[in-house]
Amino acid sequence: MPSSRVWPAFAAALIVFLAANTGRADEGMWTFDNFPTDAVKARYGANITPTWLDQVRLSVVRLSNCTASFVSADGLILTNHHCSAACIDDLSTAEQNYLAKGFIARSRNEERKCSRQIADVLVAMENITETINAATKGLSEQAANDARKKTLTALEQACEESSAKQNSRLKCEAVTLYDGGQYFIYKYKRYTDVRLVFAPEEGIAAFGGDPDNFQFPRWCLDMSVLRVYENNQPIKSPNFLRVNFAGPAAGEAVFVAGHPGSTERLLTVSQLLEQRSNAPTSLLRSSELRGRYIEFGKRGAEQQRIAQDPLMGLENGLKVRRKQLDALLDEHLLDIKIKQETALRAAIAKDKALTARTGSAWDDISRALQTSRAIELPYSQLEGGAAFSSQLFRYARLLVRGTTEREKPNTDRLREFADARLPRIQQQLQAPTPVYPELEKLTLSFSLERMREYLGPDHKLVRSLLPKDSPESLAARLIDNSKLADPVVRMKLWQSGASAVAASDDPMIALARSVDADTRAVRKQMEDTVEAPIRVATERIAAARFAIFGTKVYPDATFTLRLNYGVVQGWKENGADVTPFTNLGRLFERATGADPFRVPDSWIAVHDQLDMKTPFNLSTTNDIVGGNSGSPLINARGELVGLLFDGNIHSISGSFWFDAERNRAVAVHPAIIRVALEKVYRAEELLRELTVAR
């Protein structure tokens, strides 16, 4: 990077343009309405047409926390194993452990419903920025914040009502892009009957476990296959991606369409520093919980089974946040961010009108963050739920709040309880998700103990909850006496409404009731004194950025559909080349026989029939982040040539910037998918459906 001397305005703007949030190298998580087709053509010769874009968009599926894509005309979708792990876990029992043993439906009636899964297909996007700006114009920060939310809820509602009238019954979700620079309504076709078709053993899906997670070279068959149903029949899905089992060549241009969850590349320096200061608390908490889960798992086979999936999720998050903290502690990265911000502000300062419109946005954010510091702790413990880590408590809070909110006019509610969101809440309440009391006691006693540590033993809330109890004895009493593990009990309360919930003597409901007023108060305080001023300020900064750069910027990830481009490529690690493909032979060489480096018996049994040169995983330069898991890797002809499942370790800093030198996406090669289905799992029907689809 250039040194810190003051450049002329143009150069300054150029630096911002190049380094901050535009398509340098293969950077960018582009919305489909603003994909840089010209740049892609210039760089890779690939001709991305509107038809290509429509076809891909309608083939891509958003799952509850991942991406998937249709791979046959009969509603078959391909995603990662880890995207289906919660479903596989829900379907498993001590006797029938599908995580460990894998799952294959040999016929359609063996396909098993994932009770909490959804599948959304984005069918339309409507820009509502002007409506929102009109609704908030001239209002105070707090009033604007309230008006913005009400308007978003009202627009979602109007959209769904209008769609219902046309019998298309779309789900309408407000989307905030560019930290408030744009507002959209995204319209999805939503499917709520998603069934498990195939999952290999976790031992091969996540070979290498946590040690290998975010590493490359890699050997993971991180795949699962689901099917989307409607009216108890597989849907017809004319838009799907044909699988090209040969996979891409090194250096070939590839595209990733999916739902990157969250990036923070547009944050101000003060926001980054605040994140840096806050990061250790949650990291330490997760790290302790990791130790508790692991030790808990040693009590016995069943304990190991029930701790396995939460542990994997926890370890994944831990690694991500740990590497994010490393990035924030990297003086070089921070220096670049400071220079970018300085350059942007200098460019604004050259324009009087823009300066006036932008106002004291950066200072406003810093001030709001100061305010945030004072309430962050009770906020995270109460509204964030850190004090009550328990599935039963989460049900209780949903019931207490949901039934109360439901009685209010739609636009007066907490946004998460707007009409458009109630069906999803109901789906969760009625799902027969297993609740394990022993594990619940672990997480709840742990979280109560940390609440006491962080708030202090003399805090009002702590005194009121633990006047005589230890965290353990309180957790045990709550878990043992609550009936909320039963979906019938939950649904009865949900349907009976606020008065029934208010009258319930379920101890978990009683706990959720008892803290609700304080919880709402600290949330309101956070919204009014932190969120409101920051939103106004970020809208101003976004507007200034648009004024300077036009549409040549992309928004931070928001778990909405994006497309990016890249190329099959390795990188240099400590001076040595990392090649972009791994092969099957090395999997067996690396196996130790002990988890997580144990190759499943199913693979060992057919070892001699397998071609050890079969490509296994590959790396690409695509700009991805969590939420992209399960995304198709697509070639210029629109074929699926890989199944994205991870990034390399350097990709984690992608939360804050794109490191073109080292940031790599990691995908399952389609060749190993074919070998697995054909030779290992003998899933002929499934392979036929995928192959016919060519």
Contact positions toward a copy of itself, by CB under 8 A?
Answer: 208, 210-212, 215, 273, 276-277, 280, 283-285, 287-296, 299, 318, 322, 325-326, 329, 331, 442, 446, 452-453, 456-458, 466-470, 473, 590, 592-595, 597
Q: What distance, in Å, lies between the first and last C-alpha atoms of the chain?
A: 47
How far is Cα 322 from Cα 649, in angstroms, rounded to an integer?
11
Nearer to a copy of itself, 325 or 644 (CB): 325
Contacts of 122 (CB under 8 A, 6+ apart): 57, 58, 60, 62, 186, 187, 188, 560, 561
**Smallest distance from a copy of itself to CB 284, Å:** 4
Nearer to a copy of itself, 420 or 455 (CB): 455
How far is Cα 361 from Cα 534, in angstroms, rounded to an integer?
8
**Smallest distance from a copy of itself to CB 444, Å:** 14
Structure tokens of 604? 């060992």
Nearer to a copy of itself, 29 or 289 (CB): 289
**Smallest distance from a copy of itself to CB 462, Å:** 9
**Smallest distance from a copy of itself to CB 445, Å:** 9
How far is Cα 28 from Cα 6, in angstroms, rounded to an integer?
27
Nearer to a copy of itself, 161 or 288 (CB): 288
Nearer to a copy of itself, 332 or 694 (CB): 332
Whose structure tokens read 């920051």? 534
**Smallest distance from a copy of itself to CB 644, Å:** 23
**Smallest distance from a copy of itself to CB 603, Å:** 17
* Strand ranges inside 216-372, DSSP E: 224-230, 233-234, 253-258
Residue 657 · residue 623 · CB < 8 Å: no
Nearer to a copy of itself, 110 or 595 (CB): 595
Q: DSSP letters of 375-436?
A: HHHHHHHTTT-TT---HHHHHHHHHHHHHHHHTS-GGGS-GGGSGGGHHHHHHHHHS-----
**Smallest distance from a copy of itself to CB 541, Å:** 22
Nearer to a copy of itself, 300 or 434 (CB): 300
Nearer to a copy of itself, 148 or 664 (CB): 664
Instruction: Mark 626-635 as b/e (b = at least 16 C-beta within 10 Å).
Output: bbbbbbbbbb
**Smallest distance from a copy of itself to CB 342, Å:** 17
**Smallest distance from a copy of itself to CB 216, Å:** 12
Nearer to a copy of itself, 31 or 268 (CB): 268
Q: DSSP letters of 640-668?
A: EEEEEEEE-GGGGGGGT---TTT--EEEE
Contacts of 363 (CB under 8 A, 6+ apart): none
> For residue 629, what is the DSSP state?
T
Sign (positive or negative) of CA dihedral 358, 359, 360, 365: negative
**Smallest distance from a copy of itself to CB 579, Å:** 15
Residue 396 · residue 405 · CB < 8 Å: no
**375 φψ region: left (φ > 0), alpha (ψ -120 to 50), beta (else):** alpha
**Smallest distance from a copy of itself to CB 288, Å:** 4
Residue 207 · residue 676 · CB < 8 Å: no
Helix (H, G, I), strand (E, B) or coil at 597: coil
> For residue 624, what is the DSSP state?
-
**224 φψ region: left (φ > 0), alpha (ψ -120 to 50), beta (else):** beta
Nearer to a copy of itself, 326 or 528 (CB): 326
**Smallest distance from a copy of itself to CB 509, Å:** 24
How far is Cα 586 from Cα 173, in angstroms, rounded to an integer?
45
**Smallest distance from a copy of itself to CB 311, Å:** 11
Cross-strand pairs, 644:
667
Report the length, in residues, of the chain.
Answer: 694
Nearer to a copy of itself, 287 or 371 (CB): 287
How far is Cα 60 from Cα 68, in angstroms, rounded to an integer?
6
Helix (H, G, I), strand (E, B) or coil at 440: helix
How far is Cα 675 from Cα 663, in angstroms, rounded to an integer?
29
Nearer to a copy of itself, 362 or 554 (CB): 362
Question: Distance from CA of residue 573 to its chain's centroid?
Answer: 28
Structure tokens of 502? 């208010």
**199 φψ region: left (φ > 0), alpha (ψ -120 to 50), beta (else):** beta
Nearer to a copy of itself, 583 or 622 (CB): 583
> For residue 180, what is the DSSP state?
G
For residue 385, give the nearest of 494, 510, 519 by alpha carbon.
519
Nearer to a copy of itself, 103 or 296 (CB): 296
Nearer to a copy of itself, 210 or 252 (CB): 210
**Smallest distance from a copy of itself to CB 313, Å:** 16
**Smallest distance from a copy of itself to CB 290, Å:** 5
How far is Cα 208 from Cα 595, in angstroms, rounded to an integer?
8
How far is Cα 615 from Cα 299, in angstroms, rounded to an integer?
39
Nearer to a copy of itself, 299 or 613 (CB): 299
**Smallest distance from a copy of itself to CB 592, Å:** 5
**Smallest distance from a copy of itself to CB 372, Å:** 16
Question: Distance from CA of residue 295 to its chain's centroid?
Answer: 28
Nearer to a copy of itself, 8 or 211 (CB): 211
For residue 656, give the nearest of 299, 265, 137, 310 by alpha carbon.
265
